[in-house]
Amino acid sequence: MSDFADYGYDICRSGRPPALPANLTQLDELAARQMTAEAYGYVAGGAGTEATMRANREAFDRRRLVPRVLRDVSAPDLSVELFAPTGFATRVPAPVLLGPVGVLATVHPDGELAVARAAAAVGVPLVLSLAASHSIEEVAAASGGGTRWCQFYLPADRELGVSLLARARAAGYGAIMVTLDAVTTGWRPRDLDNAYLPFLQGAGVASYVSDPVFQRAAGGPVLSWDDAMTLMANDRTFGWRDLAFIREHWEGPVLLKGILHPDDARRAADSGVDGIVVSNHGGRQVDGAIATLDALPAVVDAVGDRLTVLLDSGVRTGADVVKALVLGARAVLIARPYAFGLALDGQDGVEHVVRCLLAETQLTMILAGVSRASDLAGSGLVAAALCSPAHRGE
């Protein structure tokens, strides 16, 4: 079993300051200075006034841990089991995954390939974006023996969807994560002020243009990106009934990403999916959406025992990971932190980010008196909230 907490001790013993800071909330500012304005705006920006982005962070900051003492923490174990309620039990070494981020070639030439290598090196799963700059197969090759999952949007062209799923399965992706909260792109002032949409420049279409169904539909290589986006477009009529179609073409675990309301979580459980991700897309879609950590408890109450609940949007520190797990998430996904790590230091930067996060997670867990990450939910560790929003309507 890896002792993730060694990372910090090794830094101090080396006497060499690390290339990137150990406080991952400082990466954003560093990245802003180094990335192009367009790439930084795309990665760091959110919808509207970015209120949801701030809310995501505040929801973590408002929670308090109440550590316990004099418990044996000599054998810490960060691993957690996913998908047990639905029969696909899988153990991952730590409760952290790298969530899907598109067009990473705009951030670093190696893009998703560097991320896949870093994820495999540290031992955390990568969820590949369908809007990646490298194709499903290229990233699988870079990932090697690493655990990988694949994001999925339901395209209006169902045949294209079938083809993408078949390729993901063939390339060793273990689960698919269906993004529900992006039937259209949100209002993102930073991109608009730059008149920048990376998809319009073909930066995130590698998995599409390499697809035989897409190629046939396009009818040739000289396709404008404007036209290509029509082919790639999501189905805006996508509804609960269409989950059967996905299940028909995918044998492994299916997760739905972008659920915030407990009624949608119940519907997801009724539909037989294996997991959901409580997510507001990192605050990039609906400005003013509820913070994911504020939404989590009601969702866990509703379906926590019927399927696997994950969470993303705003996770920056090991304390955040612990809080999310105490409140019922089985694991969390991070996105911007590793994208900034990639921008600042390539594969090494991604590894640093993940190692810092896991080290702090393990230290926080031990110091809170808990040995196993899987014991955080329902443990004697209590998270108290300061001024939580009520869930009732007005």
Task: Show contacts with a copy of itself in window 348-377 (CB under 8 A).
Answer: 356, 359-360, 363-364, 366-368
Q: Could you say which residues in the range 116-175 bind a copy of itself, by CB under 8 A?
A: none
Six-digit token pair at 352? 């640093």
Q: Which residue has the tokens 């300051």?
A: 17
Contact residue for a copy of itself among 34, 36, 230, 237 (CB under 8 A): 237
Q: Which window, 63-71, 118-126, 165-173, 334-342, contacts a copy of itself (CB under 8 A)?
A: 63-71
Residue 390's contacts (CB-CB under 8 Å, 6 or more residues apart) are none
**Closest separation between CB of residue 271 and a copy of itself, Å?**
9
Q: Could you say which residues in the range 314-353 bind a copy of itself, by CB under 8 A?
A: 316-320, 322-323, 327
Helix axis angle, 37-44 relative to 336-367, nearest 10°?
40
Contact residue for a copy of itself among 2, 22, 123, 247 (CB under 8 A): 22
Angstrom distance (rounded) from CA 86 to CA 295: 23
**Closest separation between CB of residue 104 and a copy of itself, Å?**
19
Short-list 97, 135, 133, CA closest to 118: 97
Contact residue for a copy of itself among 143, 280, 292, 347 (CB under 8 A): 280
43: left (phi over 0), alpha (psi -120 to 50) or beta: alpha
**Closest separation between CB of residue 89 and a copy of itself, Å?**
26
User: Is the distance from CB of 243 to CB of 278 less than 8 angstroms?
Assistant: no
> What single DSSP character describes residue 64?
E
Short-list 124, 106, 61, 77, CA closest to 294: 61
In terms of CB distance, is 15 or 220 closer to a copy of itself?
A: 15
Active site residue: 108, 134, 281, 352, which one?
Answer: 281
- Residue 389 contacts a copy of itself per CB under 8 A: yes
Using DSSP's 3-state secondary structure scheme, residue 391 falls into coil
- Residue 12 contacts a copy of itself per CB under 8 A: yes
**Closest separation between CB of residue 65 and a copy of itself, Å?**
5
In terms of CB distance, is 219 or 241 closer to a copy of itself?
A: 241
Angstrom distance (rounded) from CA 221 to CA 151: 25
Contact residue for a copy of itself among 23, 34, 36, 230 (CB under 8 A): 23
Residue 134 catalytic?
no
**Closest separation between CB of residue 107 and a copy of itself, Å?**
19
**Closest separation between CB of residue 372 and a copy of itself, Å?**
14
What's the chain's length in residues?
394
* Burial of residue 180, with CB atoms counted within 10 A of its CB: 0-12 exposed, 13-18 middle, 19 or more buried: buried
Contact residue for a copy of itself among 89, 170, 192, 244 (CB under 8 A): 192
Angstrom distance (rounded) from CA 337 to CA 345: 12
Q: Could you say which residues in the range 68-87 bind a copy of itself, by CB under 8 A?
A: 68-74
Six-digit token pair at 271? 């539909």
Catalytic residue positions, numbered: 281
